[in-house]
Amino acid sequence: MSSATTSRTQVGIVGAGPAGLFLAHLLRREGIDAVVLETRSRRYVEERIRAGVLEHGTVALLDELGLGTRMHREGLTHAGIELRFGGRSHRIDFPALTGGKTITVYGQHEVVKDLIAAWLDGGGDLRFEVADVAVHDLESTLPRVTFRDAGGTVHELRCEVIAGCDGFHGICRTSIPHGVLTAYERAYPYAWLGILAQSKPVSDELIYVNHDRGFALFSQRSPTVTRYYLQCAPDEDLGGWSDDRIWSELHARLAGEQTPRLTEGPIMQKGVTAMRSFVVEPMQYGRLFLAGDAAHIVPPTGAKGMNLAVADVWVLARALATFFTAASTSALERYSETCLRRVWRAQRFSWWMTSMLHRAVDGDRFGARLQLAELDYVTGSLAASTSLAENYVGAPLS
Ligand code: APR
Ligand code: PHB
């Protein structure tokens, strides 16, 4: 192993997902120095297929940062979603219910590509393929991050603050001493089998389907690339899902009155996404601040994961600006409390959407009838559909 080096920065950012990358850009705007460390390769993070719904506020933030050009060119503005149950579709019109707001469908990995390119173009420090990342002295005013670069050289990064943006499986949350954090968790007895296919989308808008055979979601990435999901078992064996079986299951779950025309095509990617709700409180320990999936996970039904990560780092960047310019820790002290309000709102919404749309695995027939009553109410009542719409487009960042 090569000899050690030491360097300094104001904020050490662990993880180059949406949380870490948005934070890096927000700090750059404030004139705060940051270094981003990422265990994976650039190619890996740029190709990792995840969700793709950007809330109104996330789109506005990309624009504010001057990073929205490709998103506006290639992303798709959606003015609503369809809820399909009992074989019929019902539309939720976002602009009509939220004073003009829409969402944008643009893959998370495309956002990540744009953020990485702009960070590096602006001379930003981002180290890919680092190993053995560890955080130290979190209770002190000079915490440190140590890591090994791809060549094996050991580095020590001395920071004033560390941002733990390293996702659910990262090391930051687990470096906090036992007993400090309280975890709140809910596991769901199902998962999503997701595909990316070369085919014409079934509709211009997303369709969320409640069906006796299980939930399905019809989404897209472009006018020629579709992203579809099917409710499956958490331990589903992908080997049992031929392309033919996937298409025939999608046809079956979409069928009913006014069946939208589903066009098949080559499937480019298949994967199983787990469904879990998870929150730790507080989102801070000493000079370590957790953001995004490192602190909370939502089931994907409400499309909130990336948007929550963005909301966290927006709060964190503002608090860090106060800290570095006015030497005041008061905003940083409120970081966790401020974020957790939005986190729990999104948890409630994601849990509600999930519970309303998925088939219970225990054959709960009463529950299935309640789901239909809920869907009937949501699509028939102005108050209830407004509630869904305002949660889906997301509250402004504040
Ligand atoms: N050191 C450095 N980087 C790490 C480490 C580590 N020890 N462990 C993990 N990472 C990296 C991961 O490789 C990943 O690139 O941290 C990054 C975390 O990114 P995400 O998992 O995308 O999490 P986040 O930025 O919080 O974004 C949340 O991602 O999981 C989706 O649905 C979720 O859309 C949401 C969004
Ligand atoms: C997606 O397009 O990947 C997507 C859309 C809506 C969701 C989840 C995922 O609720």
pLDDT one-digit tens code per residue, 196-220 = 999 999 999 999 999 999 999 999 9
Which residue minimizes the CA distance to atom 9 of ligand 2? 51
| 206 within ligand 2 shell (Cβ under 6 A) | yes
Decide: 301 in ligand 2 pocket, CB within 6 A. yes
Residue nearest to atom 19 of ligand 1 (CA): 17
**b/e code 97-109 from CB counts within 10 Å (16+ = b):** bbeebbbbbbbbb
Instruction: Supply the residue whose CA is at minimum distance from atom 6 of ligand 2.
Output: 303
User: What's residue 4's pLDDT?
Assistant: 87
- CA of 231 relative to ligand 2 center, distance in Å: 13
Q: Is the minimum distance from the CB of 194 to ligand 1 under 6 angstroms?
A: no
Rounded mean pLDDT, 45-67? 96
Helix axes 108-121, 18-29, angle to 10 degrees: 40
- Asked if the model's pLDDT at residue 271 lies above 80, the reply is yes
Residue-wise pLDDT tens digits, 281-336: 999 999 999 999 999 999 999 999 999 999 999 999 999 999 999 999 999 999 99
Digit-coded pLDDT (tens) for 146-171: 999 999 999 999 999 999 999 999 99
Any ligand 2 atom below 6 A from CB of 219: yes
Q: How far is the CA of 187 from the centre of ligand 1 (A)?
A: 20
Q: Is the CB of 49 under 6 A from ligand 1?
A: no
- Give me 194's structure tokens: 């997701």
The catalytic residues are 78, 208, 300, 304, 392
How many Å lie between the centroid of ligand 1 and the Cα of residue 317? 18
| Angle in degrees, CA 90, 92, 98, rounded to 5 | 165
pLDDT band at 383 (very low <50, low <70, confident <90, very high): very high
For the chain, give me the number of helices (H) and strands (E)? 12, 21
Q: Is 225 helix (H, G, I), strand (E, B) or coil?
A: strand
- What is the pLDDT at residue 3? 64
Is residue 398 very low, low, confident or very high in pLDDT (cuts 50, 70, 90)?
Answer: confident
Expressed in angstroms and rounded, the spacing between residue 353 Cα and the centre of ligand 2 is 12
- Tell me, what's the pLDDT at 2? 58
**For residue 343, how far is its CA from the centre of ligand 1 (angstroms)?**
17
Closest ligand to Cα 302: 2
Cα separation values, 318 from 80, 273, 330, Å: 32, 33, 11
Please tell me the distance from the alpha carbon of residue 361 to that of residue 62, in angstroms, as a whole number. Answer: 40
14 C-beta closer than 6 A to ligand 1: yes
Distances (CA, A) of 334 to 19, 120, 182, 289, 340: 19, 31, 17, 11, 10
Q: What are phi and psi of 277, to 5 degrees?
A: -110, 135
Q: Which amino acid is at 330?
A: S
